Structures are given as structure tokens and as C-alpha cells.
A and B are shown apart, each in its own frame.
Chain A
Amino acid sequence: MKDLLITFLKPYWKQVTLTVGLLLVQAISNLYLPSLNADIINNGVAKSDIGYIIKTGGFMLIVTLLLAACAIASSYFSSKISMSFGRDMRRAIFHKVETFSQADLDRFGPPSLITRNTNDVQQMQMLVLLGLNLMVMAPLMCIGGVIMALRQDVVLSSSIIVIIPVMAVAVWFILIKATPLFRSIQVKIDRVNQIMREKLMGVRVIRAFVRNDYEAKRFDEANRDLTTTTLRVNRIIALAIPSLMVIMNMSAVAIIWFGGHRIDSGAMPIGNLTAFLTYIMEIMISIMLAMGMFVMVPRAEASAERIEEVLNTEPSIKDPATPTEPHKTRGIVEFCDVEFSYPGAEESVLRDISFITTPGKTTAIIGSTGCGKSTLVNLIPRFYDVTGGSIKIDGVDIRDMRLRNLRDRIGLVPQKAFLFSGTIADNLRYGNENATDEELWHALEVAQAKDFVMEIPGQLHAPVEQGGVNFSGGQRQRLAIARALVKKPEIYVFDDSFSALDFKTDAQLRLALKKETVHSTMIIVAQRVSTIMDADQIITLNDDGTIAGIGTHNQLMETCAVYRDIVYSQLSEEEVA
């Protein structure tokens, strides 16, 4: 955590120094005020010296004003520093993740990375903000308070030796006890929320099976459990504040008692007692705040670790040092003995994969779930690098090509049609900023999406919400296909992109696509045999990631048992013919 703090606070070291300076001034003024109070009482009020009161009071107001000015200035800087710190850290993480390959990203998983980029940074930012106030202020006030107390009366100050440890232990004890208690509540809340979520999702099933009573009981149990736990915890926590107040107040009573003796013996002026009490309170409050800070530290430390993990990850896929580009770009994709296994996995997902695709031809990949179809096509744009063999495009190993150039040539339609927030046009132009409206409409028409886009108010300028949730699965898929078409790449990769479409749309789309992509290489991953029956070559994968057979539908029907199985599971016999 230290390194992280140093790295990201360094650009602001001047402001940090300034803030600490301002806090120092504040601490001194804060500590000085009670002694001015004491003076007013000792020399002014007690001696009935109005002139003195006015003079000292005036001075006190000036100090107060200074204090307010410093406090505002320091919170200006601490806000600025901590928010800049958060901004810079967020930026660093995000920029880093953008250089990641899919494999790097998978290592963390998107949800975790999102948390790291948002909540974890927030934690650190909070620590800096509070740190710039409390962490500096609390020790300053504590030490200063002790010094000032000593100045008021050395003998009475010995009480501090008892008060500080008692206070510290009490606060520590409460915090240690409270944290797991609150966590136990959170667990129960999560449980209630989870049941509720299940009930909402499954409302049809619950009603269909007439299980309302059972569900009501299930929820009631969780609800009751949450209530009892929260009640118990809150009742324990209810003790915390009163206990701390008792400690503080009893300290004050003791000080008045012992101070009284000092005053009576003439060892201490009476005004000093009030000042002394104020200092003791300051000391105790700063201990409470400091202890509160310490609770934050482990949490921030965990966040820091998670952030550092991201920042220290070197992207596994980078541009080659000396990029080579093919002489002629046609779009011939060649797999040579490709082997691939996910990082850390014992078994490889794909083995001995060799095939070649040519422009104008369609290559289909079929096989059962989990056999590595998607993995195979993900190797082409180098989301992952092969672990054996090589993939060549137009004769050049893709690892020797510049990433940007490689990807420029590929139009990918992923399994989960992912749309970005913005407008339909924004999404379609994702691969080609300069596409005209006519080109967009054309792509939509090919993708069988023209009709529904025409019907939406705003048409091309209709908004797409995050994740494309305002479109149905089939609509999203068609938009994603149109997006790839607008890019006009040499190589199209369709990763199970027709699954949400009904037969008719599927067929029409493929028909239109065929005309559109006469000169392109087509690679299609599919579940439905009907989608790929007419492909120029069908690559059938075994469950273990090897090739079971390559050929046309008719060839494979004769030679490949795996393919036959798949076909028969989906079509009746006459349909196969």
C-alpha cells in the first residue's frame, strides 16, 4: 500500500506539504484557544477586568478566524488531493486494463476488475481524504494536547497516563467487536435479498407448483433470522457510545477532584482547570478518531493489494518488436497444428487443429458444448495466443503482425451480442467511423434488422442502453451482425451468432449474407445443423478438442460418426436428406 500511496501522491507533494502545514497551524490554534479561554477567566472574569476580556477576546476572535481560514484552505487541498488521487488511480487502472489480452482479463474476471476500478479506488481515496485530515490531525492534537496539559499543570497531567490507555483499549475493544457483528448482519441481509430475487425470477414456477405457502415460510425464516441478528447486534452496539461517554465523563470528574486540591494548595490557578479539562477531552477525542482510522487501514490495504495486482500485470499479448505484414491481403486463414490450453489448465482445450479457409468460402465449426468451438475462433483475433502450432493469415504468423492491423481485418460477431450504450448508429459505426447512413441501412438490411430499426422512434439515432437491454436477444444479435458488416472486413467470424433467431430469420439472414460476403472468408460456429448444412467445409470437433472430421455435409454424413450423431439429434430423417 505504501508504494501505491507514494506513487500516486507524488505529483501532489507540494499540496500535501501545504495541507500538513495548514493542519499544523490548525492544531496549534485549536490548542491555543483553551489557554486563551483560561486567560480570560483567570485574568479577566475572575479579576473583573473588562478591558482584558475585550482585548483577549478580540485576539481570540482573530485566532478563530485564522483557524476557520486554515480549516477551509486545508479541506480545499485535501479534497483536491484525494479526488485527484482517486482520478489518477482510476485512470491508471483503466488504461492498464485496456492493454490486457482476454487471457489477462479472464484471470481477474470482469466483475472483479470493475470492483477494483471503482470500489477499491474509492476505498483508497477515502483513506487519503481522511488521512489528510484525521491521520495528521489526531496525532498533532494528541501530542499538542499533552504538551499543553503539561503546561497547565504537570502533576495533574499524570492522569493522562491512565486516561489514554483506558480510552484506547475501550475504543479498540468496541471496534474489534463491532466489525464482525456488522458483517453478520450483512450476511443475513444478503440472504433475504437472495430469496427475494429468487422469488421474483421464479414467480411463474412458484405459482404453477402452488408453493406460495412454502415460499412465504422460507422468506419468513430468513426475515426473522435477519431481525433477530440485527436486534442482537444493535443492542450490543447500543452500549458503545454510553460506555465511551462514561469513560470521558468520569475522567473529567476525577480531574476536577484532584485539580481542586491543586487549586486549593495554590499550585494551579482556577482557570487552568477548565483549560486542562478541554485538553484532556481533545486528547480523548483524537484517540477515538485515530482508532477509527485504524479500522479503515486493513480494508484499504486489501483494496491496495487488489489494485497493485492489476497495475503490476504485464499484458501477455503485445505488438511484436518488428512487425511483418503480408504482401497481399486476401484473407486466407490457416491453422497449423494448433494447440491451446488456458493458463494454468492441465489439459489443452484444442489439439492438432489444422485447416485452411479461403476467401469466398464458408467454414463451419460444430461440436458439442464445451468442446472448444468458441475458443478456436477466439484465437484468430489473438484474444488468446496459441500454446502450440501457429495461425497464419495470408501466410504470415499472426503473432508477427501488428495487433491493430490484424484486428482491422476481422469482423467478429460474438456469442453474447454485446452492444454499447449510445445510439444504434454509434454501435454500427464502431468498426468504421466514416460509414455513411446508406451503408448502415444496407448492413441492417442484410442483417435482417432493417424492419425493426425502422419501427423504433429515432431509427438510427434511437438510444441503446447499457448492455443493449432495451433490445431483445434476437435484435441484439442482428445489430451485432450489422456492426461487423459495416466494418467490411476480409474475415468474418460468427460465434454462434444465430442462436436467438427463428428458422425463418436465420435462413433469410444467411441468404443475404452469402451475397454480401462473396469475397470474404467466413468462419461460422454453430449449434444448429440447419445453419451450417450448406457450408463449404464443416469442421466437426470431438469433445476432447481434436478434429473428428472435415468436409461437406454429405461427406461427413458418410464418414463422421460424431457429425451424424449431432445431425440426428436435431433433425428427423427425411429432413437430413
Chain B
Amino acid sequence: MRINNSQNSNNMRTQPQRQHGGFGGGRVAAMPAEKAKDFRGTLKRLIAYLKPQAMPLLLVVVFTILSVTFTILAPRIIGEATNELFGGIMGKQLPAGITKDQAIAELKANGQDQLAEMISAMDVTPGKGVDFNALLRILSVLVAVYLLAAFFQWLQQYTMAGVAQNTVYRLRRDVDGKLARLPLKYYDNHPHGDILSRVTNDVDNIAHTLQQSITQIVHAIAVVVGVLIMMFSISPLLSCISLVIIPLSLLVTMFVIRRSQKYFIAQWDSTGALNGHIEESFTGHNIIEVFNQQDKTIERFDKENERVYEASFKAQFISSIIRPAINFLNNVNYVVICIVGGIHVATGLITLGGVQAFIQYSRQFTQPVVQVASIVNILQSTIASAERVFELLDEEEERPDTENPIMLENVKGHVKFEHVYFSYTLDKPLIEDMNLNVHPGQTVAIVGPTGAGKTTLVNLLMRFYEIDRGRITIDGVDIRDMRRDDLRKIFGMVLQDTWLFNGTIRDNIAYGREGATDEEIIAAARAAYVDHFVRTLPQGYDTVLGEDASNISQGQKQLLTIARAFLANPKILILDEATSSVDTRTEMLIQKAMAKLRKGRTSFVIAHRLSTIRDADIILVMDKGRIIEQGNHEELMAARGFYYDLYMSQFLSPVSADVV
């Protein structure tokens, strides 16, 4: 198989995508929201986080109110226009030359009481048609109002973009800064995927909410308040009627959302399971083939697929009920208002334009109400995201460096462990009373079965972890009396999991020392026997290493990290020999380069090569996290202990074992 599995499981953990629908505002809203543990507290904190943006945020509110005010004025102005037109028509029907009062009196005399009352409430000049000058004036105002509404809406969005982006920028920066101060323990105890998702998905989620939902909420509230004012100013009675019907929309929405949530959860779960099954079936294709499991794999797929179908159909259908239901309620509202309004227009209590404006307002009322109901859901998941980000920001940081640090000059590389005690967790002591004396230039080989905890020593030396008791000294100075940065500069590290970043080969080698010249970089590459290889690449030292540096082999990567260590020119080395996946020739180069690097330097080698181990001055044998034996090859062989077994097993072949 030629695909990179590990990369797969990171990237392809195919989460069901959020369906952003074009139809029905309720869809996204009906997604299940994760609940925050402390909703109030986190919300408060998030608001506090917005504080530096208080001024622009205030502007956003002002702009929103202005925009909404103008938007809300529009139907009223249209109503006036209608009145103007209506008055014109009515005026035309009345004989010219009489006054309005005369006309009313005449109508009353003819028994047309209702019409008379209606006209009395209107601006009518008998015999005269529509006053187009007046209409033009009204419409000019309308144009101005519309333009202003649009203008302020734009300003509001424009300003909010700044608020949102600046806040998120700060959030990302703070998280990044925090990550630099967290002890390695945090990294070792939390899956990278989890940390990454806090920094990326959760922050993006917050960004989106800040950009979209906050303005929507402000907007919705402004609209509800504004519309209510307008409605009551037109007709308190009609408003009361509407206020009975409209909350029903809210109830319907809430009801449907609650109903559909469980199906959305089911949809997420089942889609996740299905995608997982697809992923493992495709990546493990040859295993399925050679074990003849196609039928069973298909059978399981069909079952999972059916579950996805069931859940997504129901989720889709139920959430799509919101719209027609609300439309229906809106129409009921409309008819009722028409009836009651009609009666009132007839009796002259209200104008025709007034009824029309009222209808428009009542239509505007439901939308924000439904919107707020949906945003609450989105807000919940945002707060949950914020909580996770804040949790990270609250993690305990590394113990600060000592106040009067000792700076070692001319490091010789004399490393001493004196009565060192260490454990990752309090109840499981790992290293007890360890003593080790490594003279300058000596090589320490750390050996042991897989998972024996060989990296523990590295963690302690580099002060990635703090020891519980005792002390570790370099040239007689306790490492805790140095600044961490100074301490780490003494060390050079070549690990088996070669870490190279997305950048050129030159930059990657130069990582070893700030401000290295090209000559130094090339010299380091040459020392690590990788110069030749680099020059065979089309772009040479400017070759960009892809993510996970998949364009060069594992062996070459290790050589590059050796070059990096050469450039850093450390006094003490930590080396991790590769176990496998390196071809013969590169393997020889790596061995040679490592040997060269070790020369004259105190070295700690996590060793897999017997030749390295045998040549070491001190061998530390580790098992189950503990150091169980210590000495040189001859001593340990003579002791006939764990090391002896380990060493002899190298030659333990079935044939020879039978003979022995």
C-alpha cells in the first residue's frame, strides 16, 4: 500500500458535514448543540474578551438600530402612499366643487354611513384625483429611508467584521502563546487532534458566530422592538390580536427543533459510523480481500447506510415542517387582521394604508422571533467551543525559570543524576533513587524492549518534565538553576520521528541555529552525508518539503535532522536510532553520521543497533519504565541478567535454540 495511514486517520476522520441548506432557516438551527458545562460563566468571559472592542461593538449596535429604524419606517411610508392613492380615487368619485365635510354630509344623507366615516378619516379633496406632488414627496422620503437602511446595514456588517476578526486574531494569538508555555505533560496527556480542534474548529466556530450571529441577534431584537412600537402606534387592538398568533410560531419552531434534534443526533452518529466503516474498508481493502470478507463488509455497509438514510430522512423532513407551519400561521394572522382591520377601515377607525402597513409589520415580526430561536442553538455550541478554548487558556503552565539563573560557559558535558526520583503519575513511581555519572565525551546507550519508557530519560534531561526528588547536574550545576532555554541549547536532539516543517530543506536545516550562513548549512549537510542527495533534487536546497515531508524518504529525513543537529553544534547529544523502514545504504550513512556527530560529545543514545550498544561506555537497561540494569557490555553480560537475555535473543534462532 502506498498511502500514508497515519495521515489518513487524521485528515479523513470524515465528520458528517454540516448541511447548509438554502431552504428553510430552521435547518442549521435544528442541529443538535453541544451543551457547555458552565454556560453563564463562559458567556460572561467571552463578553469580557470582547471588551477591547467595546467602542466598535457599540457602533454596531447603533448602526443596527438605525438600519432597523429606517427599515421599519418603510411600510408606514408605503402606507401613506397607499392612503394618498386611495384618497385620490375616493376624491374622484365625489362630485367636484364641494368640501370634504359637505361630501360626508351628503353620503350620510344617502345612508352610506360607513363610507362617510371612512372618508372623514382620510385626506380627501372631492373631485380631485391623486396628488402626484404629494406622492412624489412621500416616495422621495421612501427612497431616502431605503437607502439609509441599506447604508447602515452595510456599516454594521463592515464594523462587525472588524470586531469579529480582531477578537479572533487575539484569541488565536493567546492560544498560541499559551501553547508555548504549557508543559510537555499537557501535550503527552492530550491527543493532538483534540488540541488542534480547539485551536482551529472551535476558534473558527467562535469567529463565525461573532461575524454572523451577534449582528443577527442585535438585529432581531431591534426589529422586534421597532415593529412592536409601530404596530401599537397603528392599532393597539390589531397588535393584541397579532401578539396572540405570533408567539405560536415560536412554539412551533421550538417544538419542531426539539423533535428533530434527536434525529439530527442520530444522523451525525450514523453518518460518522458509516464514514468510519467506509474509511477502514477502503484503507484495509487488501486485508478484506485476502480474508474474503467482501460480503460481510458489504452487509455491514448496507446496514449502516440504511441507518443513515432513516435518520437523515427524518431529520430532514421534520425540520422542513417549520416553514410551512409558520407560513400558515402568518396567513391566519393575515386573514384575521384583514377581517378586523376591514371592519375598522369601514368604521374609519383606521386607514386602508394603516391596515396594509400593519400587515407588513406583522409579517416582519415572525422572522426575527424564529431566528432568535435558532440562534440560541448556535450560541449554545459556540459557548461550548469558547469553553473548550478557555479551558486550554486556563491550563497550568510550566514552572517559571529560576530568578537568578546560572549561565554555563564552555560546557564540558559532565552529566550527573543524583538520587533522582520521578513518576508521571503520583501513585506509580517510575524512577527511584537513580544515580548516573556520565563523564564528558562518554556515550550512554539506553536499551530495552518496546514501550520500556526510554524517552523518559530524554524528558528529564531536557527538563520537559520535572523530577520529583534528587537532582540532575551538568558540569555540577543543577539544571533547575538554569533557564530552560539555556539548558536546551546545550543539547542536540535527533529523534526517530523526524520532525520537519513545511518549508525548504535549507530552512529546515537552518532550524538548528538562528542566523546560520549558507556555507554553514551546506557544511552541516555534508557532515550528515545528505548534501549529495539534496543536490540531486531539482531544486536542491530550495526544495520545499511537503506536509509530513512525504516527498523524501524516512532515511533522508533522519539525515536532515542529523544535519540540523550538526549545525546546532551542541555539547550533549540525544540520539534515537531508527528501527526500520530505512534502506541499507541510507542506514549505513545514518550510522556513520551519528558516529561522527557523537565524537567528542557526551551522548545519550536510544539504541537499537547492537554495535552501538556494545561500544557504549554505559548501558542503561530499561523495562516497564524503570532502569533495571546499568553498566558496560562486559559487566552486564557477566551479570547474566535481563541484558544478557536481550542480547542473546538476537542470536536465538529456532534452529540454534533447538541445538542449545
Contacts and interface: CB of A to CB of B under 8 A. Distances in A.
Contacts of A57: 335-336, 338-339
Given A53-B339, A527-B580, A208 B488 contact: yes
B291 A430 contact: yes
Given A45-B338, A196-B200, A496-B580, A117 B278 contact: yes
A166 interface: no
B433 interface: no
A130 B24 CA distance: 11
A53 B324 contact: no
A437 to B, nearest CB: 19
Contacts of A110: 3, 8, 279, 282-283, 285
A216 B1 contact: no
B54 interface: no
B593 interface: no
B12 A111 contact: yes
A541 to B, nearest CB: 11
B375 interface: no
Nearest to B340: A53
Contacts of A250: 143, 146
A72 B320 CA distance: 7
A241 interface: yes
B369 interface: no
Contacts of A527: 580-582
Contacts of B484: 207
Contact of B324 (A50, A67, A224, A293): A67
Nearest to A230: B165
A499 B19 contact: no
A189 interface: yes
A474 B195 contact: no
Chain A interface, DSSP helix/strand/loop, else mixed:
helix
Contacts, number: 466
Which of A60, A76, A83, A370 has the most chain B CB atoms inside 10 A of its CB?
A83
Contact of B579 (A199, A500, A511): A500
B434 interface: no
Interface in A52-87: 53-54, 57-58, 60-61, 64-65, 67-68, 71-72, 75-76, 79-80, 82-84, 86-87
Given A118-B275, A414-B287, A65 B502 contact: no
A194 B503 CA distance: 12
Contacts of B501: 198, 202
Interface stretch (A144-152, A324-332, A389-397, A566-574): A566-574
A96 B316 CA distance: 28
B187 interface: yes
Interface stretch (B236-244, B411-419, B584-592): B584-592
Which of B11, B501, B553 has the most chain A CB atoms inside 10 A of its CB?
B501
A423 interface: no
A114 to B, nearest CB: 5
Interface stretch (B96-104, B149-157, B420-428, B473-481): B149-157
Interface residues of A, number: 170
B184 A204 contact: yes
Contact of A223 (B176, B276, B320): B176
A263 B19 CA distance: 47
Contacts of B59: none
A555 interface: no
Contact of A209 (B9, B274, B488): B488
B194 to A, nearest CB: 10
A162 interface: no
Nearest to B150: A242
B589 to A, nearest CB: 10
B614 A263 contact: no
Contacts of A14: none
Interface in B154-194: 154, 157-158, 161-162, 164-166, 168-169, 172-173, 176-177, 179-180, 184, 187, 192
Interface string B462-489: 1010000000000000000000110011
A154 B552 CA distance: 72
B173 A223 contact: yes
Contacts of B580: 496, 499-500, 527-528
A488 to B, nearest CB: 12
B290 interface: yes
B179 to A, nearest CB: 7
Contacts of A44: 338, 342
B335 A60 contact: yes
A429 to B, nearest CB: 10
B132 interface: yes
Across the A-B interface, the 9 shortest Cβ-Cβ residue pairs: A48-B346, A238-B157, A71-B324, A369-B583, A368-B583, A234-B161, A242-B150, A202-B499, A64-B331
8 contacts: A37-B338, A211-B514, A216-B177, A256-B135, A369-B583, A416-B1, A569-B588, A575-B650
Given A101-B289, A198-B502, 9 more contacts: A45-B346, A53-B339, A94-B278, A102-B286, A133-B23, A196-B200, A369-B583, A421-B280, A569-B591
